[in-house]
Structure 1
Amino acid sequence: MLKENQIMVTDENGVESICEILFTHEVDGKQYVVFEFVDSEEVSAAIYVPGENEQEGTFEDIETEEEWAMLDDVLQKFYDEIDAELDEEEDEEEPA
């Protein structure tokens, strides 16, 4: 059973993998989904194309270097925000 923030990704060989959605990002009407494979912690991304209802949709490959570079920048900012939040939590836990 998939959790709310998980998706099933099928590769070109028909192998299914559970992935956790890290975040979504929309640019110029394209919806990008950045996700991490649960088993390997490898991060990847795809373009989400909505279907007829919310539970249906497909993924398309990202094909341009510009799109990958843009998503790499957004991913780095995502990790920086997580690091900043963790640092803030650690500072709050330290006795004065």
Structure 2
Amino acid sequence: MDQQYFYLTTEDGVEMKCKVLFTFDTDDHSYCIYTIIDEDGNESEEISAVRYELDENLEMTNFQELETEEEWDMVEEVYNTLVDTFSEEERDAFIATDEEGNEIECKVIYRFTLDEFGKKYVVYTTDETEPIENLYVASYVDSEDGEIQEIFPVESDEEWKKIEETVEFLNQ
């Protein structure tokens, strides 16, 4: 089986070809976000998700529908984070001012939104030579054209925990 595609059978017994958009794992399950491919090979604009397991050949199998509203919310949040992260319209750098008033160029690694906190976040680095070694996270406000206008520190442990979960999904 081509890992980019898989097949689902509807309750009516109709087999649908599905294209994998993204897969990710949580502590409990593996998830696949996908779209349906029609008979002409065109992708549907509708996006959906299923749980899956890997067989001994490391192919997706045992597809299961999502069971709870919390599961759907989590999948939607991951999907929205991906869309935000890979949006072509977003800028890849911004200027921050440190405590002494010095301007520092920051390279954007990821952008995402956490709806439960009502904030947008940016993962960034100030070190161009070793960006993975020196990562920072802040909430931010953007301007009308999508540029990062102002950054703010993360305020709570609960916020940090959710940020870490989101970033972990993106790194898989």
Q: TM-score under structure 2 normalisation?
A: 0.45
Matched, 1:54 2:53: no
One-letter code aligned to 1:49: E
Report whether the alignment pairs 1:87 with 2:89. Answer: yes
What corresponds to 1:93 in structure 2? none
* Pairwise CA distance, 1:55: 3.5
Q: Which of 1 and 2 has greater Rg? A: 2
**Paired residue for 2:109?**
none
Alpha carbons 1:25, 1:31 under 8 Å: kept: yes
Residue in 2 aligned with 1:16? 15
Residue 33 of structure 2 is aligned to residue 34 of structure 1: yes
Instruction: Kindly provide the amino acid, as one letter, of the partner of residue 46 in structure 1.
Output: V
State the shift of 1:17 in Å.
1.3
**What is the aligned partner in structure 2 of residue 92 from structure 1?**
none
Q: Does 1:63 align with 2:67?
A: yes
Identity over aligned residues, as a percent? 36
> Hey, which of these two has a bigger chunk of strand by percent?
2
Task: Indicate the residue corresponding to 2:131 in structure 1.
Answer: none
Q: Count residues with an aligned counterpart.
A: 86
User: How far has the Cα of 1:53 moved from its partner?
Assistant: 3.3
The offset of 1:56, in angstroms, is 6.0
The one-letter code matched in structure 1 to 2:54 is: P
Distance, in Å, in 1 between the alignment partners of 2:26 and 2:60 is 21
Shift of 1:41: 2.6
CA deviations on 1:33-60 (whole Å, 9 max, x unpaired) are 1111123232111110233432362101
**Unaligned segments of structure 2, at least 5 residues:** 39-43, 91-172
Query: How many Å apart are 1:79 and its aligned residue?
Result: 1.1
2-structure distance, mates of 1:61, 1:17? 15
Q: Structure 1 residues 56 and 48, CA, compared in 2 at 3 Å: closer, same or farther?
A: closer
* Structure 2 residue 43 is the aligned partner of structure 1 residue 44: no
More helix by share: 1
User: Structure 1, unaligned stretches of length 5 or more?
Assistant: 89-96
